[in-house]
Structure 1
Amino acid sequence: MKEFSLIFHEEIPKYIQLSDYIKHKIDIGEIKDREKLPTIRALSEMLKVNNVTIVNAYKKLQADGYANMKIGSGTYARRKEVIRSFNKEYNKTFKLLSSGGLREYIDFTGETTSSSFFPVKDLQKVINEVFDRDGAEALLYQDVLGYEKLREEISKRFWKNKYSSEDILIVSGAQQGIDIAAKAILNVNDKVIVERPTYGGAISVFRWKRADILEVPIENDGIDIAILEKILKKQKIKFMYIMSYFQNPTGISYSEEKKKKLIALAEKYDFYILEDDYLSELIYDSNLVYNPLKSYDIYDRVIYIKSFSKIFMPGIRIGYVIIPEVFKDSMYLSKINTDISTSSLMQRALERYIVKGYWRKHIEYLNEKYRSRYTFIKQILERDFKGILEFKEPNGGLSFLLKFSEPEKFNSRKLFFILRDKGVLISPGALFFRKEQEGDKYFRIGFSQTNHEKIKEGLNIILKELSL
């Protein structure tokens, strides 16, 4: 049994001192992740303290995310996860590049629409209209739910008035939606299911909340239901996070069958689903029908998140959440504690933009432009990279996830640094897996920031490196 040696001080409760002592041993690796801690009786005898002190110390460790207490089995250490090394290096690359410097690269990492497609003139018109109509009031804080006319318009245009404006919360983009949902719902050690691989920003939020993150692999039509149900039968899950269309990074869209199954499982096993509706406006295959998971939500189990930023203008930072009744109060409070209110001017401008028909016209324009890039990049991949790279057609969105045909020969993290030095930026698979090495056989290339000329040039550089 591991020896603990601790001298207690009178001014601090003993259980707090013991908890801090064990935390330090876990942080430095002297106590390994998932290592069983001494029994209550054994540790009380070793330190000459009563059992209550040990019990309280272990409870505090669990509350702080440093231990799991399993009834009938004991208490097990849980090491706080550190930020992944490659993630830090990847982010460092973009911090070092100024906006001007980034333009010198062929950027396959972009996840938002190109600035060359921004509807600046139309947006300027509606902003002027807002100021003419509302004056200084356009700059005041809004109700915590957001500008009522925008919420009403969202309900009318996108949901055929299925939801009232009271069900809709305006947020500053999808990332904030994920953040306030996690703050409102999750406690330390709550179990969250995510797709494997998945969006790194969501994992970061759940880690920050000290949740216990469980991964379920994603198949060609959505998450693996068989593996998911095995977990649900054994463990109590608080909620799961999914991207129903053009999942980041795989590009997978969920089948109708799996959407219905997920709703049924959520009701059966009493958990909630955080649906991030990602880039579903960009569908290039007429056989792919748009029906988000929320549209099947007969049990009020889905927290639906939609961002206008990625598809419209990143700088406006607006999205919305449709909230199940049970979480309304807690998510309202979470939003207030985060930033009080999303930009009033931009909310009012977006409402006018949708009402006047500009939104529908802009989405049609983007589909035309990006379908052309999508088809162009797909043709090059099919023609020039056969036997080198494999991929599944996403049929929409702004990126392709590529897999090395011979993964033993390549490593996408190493490829990232090689290509960076040659003026090409890619997103290695390590960014989307909790364990970096699991992503080494994948990398993602996006086409939102690259025109046909840049796509051809960048893929030629990649092909040359992979053919050496």
Structure 2
Amino acid sequence: MKKYLVNLEGIGIPKYKKIAIHIKKLIDENKIKDGEKLPPIRKLAEELNVNNVTIVNAYNKLESEGYAVQKIGSGTYAKRKEVAINFKKKYSNVVRRISSEKLRNYIDFSGEAASSELFSVSSFKEVINKVLDRDGTEALVYQEALGYEGLRESIDKYFWRNSVDSDNILIVSGAQQGIDIVSKALINVNDNVVVEKPTYGGALTVFKWRRANVVEIELQEDGMDLDELEKVLKKNKIKCVYIMSYFQNPTGISYSSIKKRRLLNMAEIYDFYIIEDDYLSELIYNGDEYVSFKSMDTNDRVIYIKSFSKIFLPGIRLGYLISPHDFKENIQNSKVNTDIATSSLMQRVLDMYIKDGMWKGHIKKLNEIYRERYEFFRNALEALEEYVDFILPGGGLHFYVKIKEGLIDSMELFYQCEKDGVLITPGIIFYKNPKEGKEYFRLSFSQTDLYSIEKGLGIIKNIFKQCK
């Protein structure tokens, strides 16, 4: 009963509300388990030195807010219906707090971008100076609505072998802005949008903000379940399908060539667009050839989005978008209405970085370092096979792990890990329905060296042992 004790002194908030707030906090923190019976009204009233009506009102408030259920003749029971929703907010707050204060004290398995420690700052400074010497103040103030022409031409030449007209390339401030721009240009209220299940939480937020109807299709080991998608397409008009073609966030799954061709054919048959978020295709460790949906697109059905932030420097918010001809003007207008232009200086610096061959060298270095971490992480995860299952992504920067039934859910695991100095990403972050994904969590090796990987997975293993 000690955990129910709460300070009821002071004026302003009624006692029953204070009691309800305290019990809600205990439920959110899992100190009161889902389905756990709350103390009888008379017993708790005596413990807190209040009358029975106060406890009745407190329990009624908990029930009205979805935190309790009253069973006639049995009592009142804790209910965690909305805990996952609250957890998403708490998770964001915890990560923000740690990021700003004491991230270096943690083993960070939650990072999504390549480590800044692997980036040559001195080389970058040289490029900045070259750009400023060449362009002067023009590099700081001159803006083009589509983005710096030199960078757009370099993207076409070096990444697409001159197969994409640079006028179709739009420079954006990362993938998140790209998704937002496309949504504003393409999606109206109550339009149907298909996403992978699970998927990137930022995309879900954008589609919900546009008040679209979000339809989730399960992922298989080689991409979205296209049989299930076709059933949906036969019954509903779909505006677009959002996919991550390589090392999907969070699952690490990549699309097979068979599914790429089939999805492209379906887009033409059922008249929808594919939003291809090219997440981490530069980091392929298993020897597979990189082939994007966009490069296979003969019917102009793919809207291609690429962020440089994940593999360059996270603080340099740059990416690009390739539009289909039919939506080119709408998408470009959407970008102009959003923020007119992205940093002119950083665009020029990235352009020179690519032209001078430094980009190619940077990606080569990342592949060497992260391939080693990937292999090490895979072997270390195999030592946890008593507690978890996982698939091999073959590239990228993370593994998606499934906790075996009956051990612990990923929200509680997050709290336990955070307490022990380890950060993970719980699976519920990646689902439309916050009740799903509790058995999954994502582990990234982007910010961890081999020693930290071994130590961090050892801590997680100990938590699993205690649960078992």
TM range (shorter): 0.7 to 0.9
**Partners of 2:84 and 2:435 within 8 A in 1:** no
- Aligned to 2:392, what secondary structure does the other structure show? coil
**Partners of 2:425 and 2:441 within 8 A in 1:** yes
**Partners of 2:84 and 2:428 within 8 A in 1:** no
- Aligned to 1:88, what secondary structure does the other structure show? helix
Cα distance in 2 for residues equivalent to 1:408 and 1:178 = 37
Cα distance in 1 for residues equivalent to 2:154 and 2:438 = 44
**Partner residue, 1:270:** 271
1:95 CA displacement = 2.4
Question: Is 1:127 matched up with 2:125?
Answer: no
Question: Is 1:207 matched up with 2:208?
Answer: yes
1:98 CA displacement = 4.5
1:388-467 residue pairs with structure 2 within 5 A?
388-404=387-403, 406-467=404-465
- Aligned to 1:445, what secondary structure does the other structure show? strand
Question: Is 1:385 matched up with 2:384?
Answer: yes
Q: CA RMSD in A?
A: 1.3
The AA in structure 2 aligned to 1:441 is E
Cα distance in 2 for residues equivalent to 1:414 and 1:284 = 33
Cα distance in 1 for residues equivalent to 2:298 and 2:175 = 23
Question: May I ask how many residue pairs the two structures share in their alignment?
Answer: 385
- Aligned to 1:333, what secondary structure does the other structure show? helix
**Partner residue, 2:4:** none
Q: TM-score, normalised by structure 2?
A: 0.81
- Aligned to 2:105, what secondary structure does the other structure show? coil
Which stretches in structure 1 are left out of the alignment for 5+ residues?
Answer: 1-80
Runs of 4+ in structure 1 deviating by more than 6 angstroms, as ranges, are none
1:103 CA displacement = 1.1
1:82 CA displacement = 12
1:150-192 deviation line (CA, Å, top 9, x unaligned): 1001000011111111010000001000000001111000000
1:396-453 deviation line (CA, Å, top 9, x unaligned): 000000011x223320111101111111110010001112232011100001111111
The AA in structure 2 aligned to 1:165 is S
**Partners of 2:407 and 2:464 within 8 A in 1:** no
1:98-132 deviation line (CA, Å, top 9, x unaligned): 53401111110000011211221111111111111
Cα distance in 2 for residues equivalent to 1:291 and 1:402 = 26
**Partner residue, 1:283:** 284
Identity %: 56
**Partners of 1:150 and 1:351 within 8 A in 2:** yes
1:97 CA displacement = 2.1
- Aligned to 1:467, what secondary structure does the other structure show? helix
**Partners of 1:273 and 1:301 within 8 A in 2:** yes
Cα distance in 1 for residues equivalent to 2:158 and 2:395 = 22
Cα distance in 2 for residues equivalent to 1:174 and 1:373 = 25
1:351 CA displacement = 0.4
**Partners of 1:429 and 1:436 within 8 A in 2:** no
Cα distance in 2 for residues equivalent to 1:295 and 1:92 = 40
**Partner residue, 1:74:** none
Cα distance in 1 for residues equivalent to 2:224 and 2:146 = 32
- Aligned to 2:132, what secondary structure does the other structure show? helix
**Partner residue, 2:30:** none
Cα distance in 2 for residues equivalent to 1:403 and 1:143 = 46
Cα distance in 1 for residues equivalent to 2:392 and 2:135 = 47
Change (3 A) 1:103 1:162: same
**Partners of 1:141 and 1:341 within 8 A in 2:** no
Most deviating of 211-220 and 81-90: 81-90
Cα distance in 1 for residues equivalent to 2:444 and 2:132 = 37
Cα distance in 1 for residues equivalent to 2:424 and 2:176 = 22
Change (3 A) 1:83 1:177: farther
**Partners of 1:174 and 1:306 within 8 A in 2:** yes
The AA in structure 1 aligned to 2:386 is G
**Partner residue, 2:97:** 96
1:141 CA displacement = 3.7
Cα distance in 2 for residues equivalent to 1:446 and 1:225 = 28
**Partner residue, 2:326:** 326
